[in-house]
Amino acid sequence: MNTREGSAAFMAPLVVLALGHMLSNMLRTLPAIAADVLTRDLHVAPEGLASLTGAYHFAFAAGQIPLGVALDRFGVRPVSLVLLATVAVGSVLAALVGGPVGFLLAQVVLGLGCCGMLLCPMTLAAKLLTPAQFGLWSGLIQALGNVGMLLSASPLAWLVEHHGWRAGFWAAAAMAVVVALLVRLAVPAPAPADGPHPSLLTDARVVLGLSVSRRLRGIVLLAFASFAVIIGVRGLWGGPWLMEVKGLDRIAAGNALFLMTLSLIAGPALAGVLDRRLGHRRTLLALGHALAGLLLLLVAGGAPGGWLSRLTGVSMLPVSADTALLFAFGMAISIQPLLFAMTRAAVPPDQAGKALSATNLSFFLGGAVLQAASGPVGASGGPGAAIAFFGGTVLVGTALFLATTPRGTQRG
């Protein structure tokens, strides 16, 4: 299948499915722009909010094994509809909660509902395209999905400022219903699979086996830090850093995060183009992640009295420097979709859903573990320490990736 034929066959379904990923990104990054009012209304400290929102990622990770099995066995359309219904329920729960226990339950439900919003379009693309074509499309899917982070910047900052954080979850519930209707209309029903099915337990073991296999080991190690660093900065600590340390109000902080989010939209599409033109996925992934980690260390160093502030002879780096560094960070970390391209190239098409789930399991397990770990770091050293923590973890992940991925692993 050439690119034109692939585009004609699934362009509309792919775009509709990517809208679910957009919704997922909006939900997981909403707490960053509403952190102060959430902590006040839920009566928790900032590190407590980190633990509560971390439950989303634990639930997300827990859903990956049954998700991979379901995608390969039942197809994309029915799985997507179930997930969107779950998101609608979780959003309503979040909008109605009155304390930390209720918010925790809502985060768990939302994590389970959102756990397949990226893999639904990825699995459809993996089953229809060659590994080389998939590299480009994986970047385009991520780019469209990252528009959800754009919605949780300035637009949601305005909504939270004028109508409260609960309004953001009511908006998400309405969006889930609309996307479900579009999926029902645009995504074709899957053809029934021929032949006997292995047991669900056997399929689950395949997912776990792939996650520790030599083919995916380096990919899984880098994925553990790769998503965590984005969600840690964009989804939790970016807002407190700009508001508490740099003194911005909510709208100004939302505008700064808006610019970073633009890079997270443009960057994945650029990553797909670079992969198509240059290849060398292993090298591109290592360079992008290493640069992202270094940029976060520079951001943290620009705090009042920080090492970079002292080095440049100022009390603290201006907000314009933060904006530029965070924009560059977004561009660098946007090489991330090539991890999915490497995953797709490592397995046959009939294992695509399970292999992508194994990689996604590491993405969100890392997000859960490292976000929870950032809570005590931020409590003792402030938002800057938490941002530096994420910069260090992605550098460690890059080193492990290079050590465990053969040099010849470049293109599919």
| Secondary structure (DSSP) of 76-130 | HHHHHHHHHHHHHHHHHHHHH--SHHHHHHHHHHHHHHHTTTTHHHHHHHHHHS-
| Spatial separation of the C-alpha atoms in residues 389 and 19, rounded to whole Å | 31
Q: Residue 153's pLDDT band (boundaries 50, 70, 90)?
A: low
pLDDT at 198: 66
- The pLDDT tens digits for 367-383 are 878 888 888 898 889 89
pLDDT at 2: 45
pLDDT at 355: 81
All residues at 6 or more sequence positions from 145 whose CB lies less than 8 Å from its CB, including other chains: 18, 21, 22, 24, 25, 117, 118
State how far the alpha carbon of 401 is from the alpha carbons of 65, 122, 217, 364, in Å. 23, 22, 8, 17
Residue 299 · residue 325 · CB < 8 Å: yes
pTM for the predicted model, two decimal places: 0.74
Instruction: Tell which wins on pLDDT, 249 or 407.
Output: 249
- The pLDDT tens digits for 240-282 are 899 889 988 877 887 888 788 888 888 887 887 888 778 788 8
Share of the chain above pLDDT 90, in %: 29
Q: Where are the domains of the chain?
A: 10-185+205-404
Share of the chain above pLDDT 70, in %: 90
- The pLDDT tens digits for 336-372 are 988 988 888 877 776 777 788 788 788 878 887 888 8
All residues at 6 or more sequence positions from 220 whose CB lies less than 8 Å from its CB, including other chains: 211, 212, 358, 359, 362
| Spatial separation of the C-alpha atoms in residues 232 and 366, rounded to whole Å | 11
To the nearest whole number, what is the mean pLDDT of the chain?
Answer: 83
Residue 88 · residue 80 · CB < 8 Å: no
Residue 260 · residue 329 · CB < 8 Å: yes
Residue 90 · residue 110 · CB < 8 Å: yes
pLDDT at 6: 45
Three-state DSSP state, 37: helix
Just give the CATH number of 10-185+205-404: 1.20.1250.20
Please, what's the b/e burial string for 117-150 (b: 16 or more CB within 10 A of its CB; e: otherwise)?
A: bbbbbbbbbbbbbbbbbbbbbbbbbbbbbbbbbb
pLDDT at 387: 94
pLDDT at 394: 96
| Spatial separation of the C-alpha atoms in residues 346 and 131, rounded to whole Å | 9
| Secondary structure (DSSP) of 270-292 | HHHHHHHHH--HHHHHHHHHHHH
| Spatial separation of the C-alpha atoms in residues 147 and 11, rounded to whole Å | 18
| CA-closest candidate to residue 62, choices 104, 106, 26, 111 | 111
pLDDT at 134: 73
- The pLDDT tens digits for 283-311 are 999 999 999 999 999 999 999 988 999 99
Question: Other CB atoms closer than 10 Å to residue 352's CB: what's the count?
Answer: 24
Q: Residue 412's pLDDT band (boundaries 50, 70, 90)?
A: very low
Residue 343 · residue 354 · CB < 8 Å: no
pLDDT at 3: 45
Instruction: Please determine, for residue 191, whether its predicted confidence score (pLDDT) is greater than 70.
Output: no
Residue 346 · residue 280 · CB < 8 Å: no
